Structure 1
Amino acid sequence: MNFRDLGDLMVMTLRNPAQGVAMLRGLDLSMAERWLMLVLAVCLSTLLAGLARQLFPPSTEDALSAFLSVPMWLAVLQFGAMIVSAVVITVIGRAFGGHGTFEDAILLIAWVELILVGLQAMQIVLMLIMPGSAALMSMVAFGISVYLTISMTKALHGFESVAKVTLGFIGTVFVLGFVLSVIAAAFGIFPEVAP
C-alpha cells in the first residue's frame, strides 16, 4: 500500500465509513501490525503537538497543560486513551448485541487517529498562514472525530441505528469524563479556572 492508496482509503472512510471499515478489515493486518499502526499514530500526534507548542507557545500554563507539555507523558496518555477507547467500544458494543472484536477496534481507533494526525498537520499550516483559523479547524477536527467514531463503531458491530450508537457514544463520554475527573482529582491535576 502506497501513499496514494492511503489517501484513497482516507477519502473513502470520510465519504462512507462502513466501506472504509470493510476495506480496513480486508487488509488482513496482523495484531502486531495493528499495534504498530497505533504506536505510529501516537508518535506522529505527539510530534505535531510538540511542534505546535514550539511554534505557538501558550500564554498561560496550568498544571494540566504543564503535564501535557512533556512529550512522553502526552504519548503515554494518548496511547492509554486509545486502548481504553478500543476496550470500551468492544465491550459496550457487544453488550448491546454487536459482533465487533477488540482487534478490529484497535485497527479502527488507530486509523481514525491517523486521519486526525493529517488534520492536525493541516491545522498547524493554517495557523501559520491564517492564525485566526485555528479555532475553526479545531471544531472541524472534533466534528470529524465524533462522526468517524460513531459511524465506524456502527459498522464495526453491525448496528443499524445511528441514533442508538450516538446515544451510547454520548453516555459513554459522560461516564468516562466523570471517571477521568475523579482520577485527575486524586492526582491533583486540575485545569486552572479564572475567577
Structure 2
Amino acid sequence: MSDLLRLPVLMEMVRQTVSDPSEGAEAILRLGLPRAALWLAFSLMIVLSMILGILVMLALGPPEDGPLTGQSPVVLGLLQGAFLFLGVHAIVRIGHIFGGTGGFDGALALVTWLQFIFIVLQVVQLVFALVVPPLAGIVSLLAIALFFWLLSHFITVLHGFTSVGQVFLMTLLSFLGILFTLSLVLTLLGIGLPTEPSI
C-alpha cells in the first residue's frame, strides 16, 4: 500500500490505465481503500488541481473572458469538488437505474483516480503551452476524448455492464444533464454563464 505514495508507481499505474482502462479500473477497485482514505485522496486531488490552476494562471495569465473569470482559487476548488461529488453520486445512482451493482466507495475511488490522471494531463498541457503553444489546444481536445473513454470503461467495470458503447452514450447524456444543473446552480449563486461564444 505504501508504494502508492511513490510517484514512479503512480505514473506507471497511469500508463497502464490509459493503455487498458478496464484493467486499470479493476486494479483501483482491488485496492479496497477505506472510505476515510478515499476522502483524503479526493480532497488532495482538489487541492492539487487548485495549485496547478494557480500555476497555469501565473504562467499564461488569467483567461480574458469566461463564466468563472475573476473567481478565487478557493471558490473554483469548491465548485470543482461539488461537481466531482455530484458526479460520484450520479455514477452510482444512474448506474443502479440501469441494473448496475457498483457502490459509492468504488465510484469515489475511480473518480479520484480519474482526477489524478487529468492532473497529470494538465501538467503535460502546461508544458506544451509554454514550449509549443499551438499544440496545447490539440492536447486539450485529446484530453476531453480521453476523459469520456476512461470514464465509460470505469463505469462499465464498476457496475458490471457489458457494453462500453452504451455506457458511453449514457455517460455523455448524464454529463450534459449534470452540466445543465451546475449552470443553474451557478446562476443562482450569481455567477453568470456566457450567453454567446467569445470571439
Partners of 1:172 and 1:54 in 2: how far apart? Answer: 34
Shift of 1:177: 2.3
Partner of residue 118, structure 2: 116
Shift of 1:42: 1.0
Which segment drifts farther, 174-183 or 47-56? 174-183
Partner of residue 99, structure 2: 97
1:121-179 deviation digits (Å, cap 9, x = unpaired): 11111111111122111111111111111111111101001121112112212222222
Partner of residue 16, structure 2: 12
1:57-113 deviation digits (Å, cap 9, x = unpaired): 13624552222xx11011111111111110000000011111111101000000000
Partner of residue 157, structure 2: 155
Whether 1:184 and 2:186 are equivalent positions in the alignment is yes
Partners of 1:59 and 1:90 in 2: how far apart? Answer: 34
Gaps spanning 5+ residues in structure 2: where? none
Letter in 1 for 2:99: G
Partners of 2:61 and 2:94 in 1: how far apart? Answer: 39
Contact map agreement 1:21 1:108 (CA 8 A) in 2: yes
What TM-score do you get using the length of structure 2 for normalisation? 0.90
1:12-57 deviation digits (Å, cap 9, x = unpaired): 2112122112211222211111111111111111111111111111
1:6-155 matches, cutoff 5 A: 6-58=10-62, 60-62=64-66, 64-67=68-71, 70-155=72-157
* Aligned residues: CA RMSD: 1.7
- Number of positions where the alignment pairs a residue of Structure 1 with one of Structure 2: 193
Identity fraction in percent: 28
Contact map agreement 2:121 2:143 (CA 8 A) in 1: yes
Whether 1:171 and 2:158 are equivalent positions in the alignment is no
Contact map agreement 2:128 2:135 (CA 8 A) in 1: yes
